[in-house]
Amino acid sequence: MKPQELRKKSAEELSLLIAEWTGKREELALAIRQKKQKNVKELRGLRRDIARAHTVIREGKTRI
* Global pTM value: 0.87
Residue 45: domain span = 3-62
Domain count, the chain: 1
Q: What pLDDT, on a 0 to 100 scale, did the predictor assign at position 63?
A: 65
How far is Cα 28 from Cα 61, in angstroms, rounded to an integer? 31
pLDDT tens for each residue of the chain, 64 residues long: 888 999 999 999 999 999 999 999 999 999 999 999 999 999 999 999 999 999 999 998 776 5
How far is Cα 14 from Cα 54, in angstroms, rounded to an integer? 8
How far is Cα 37 from Cα 46, in angstroms, rounded to an integer? 15
How far is Cα 54 from Cα 24, in angstroms, rounded to an integer? 16
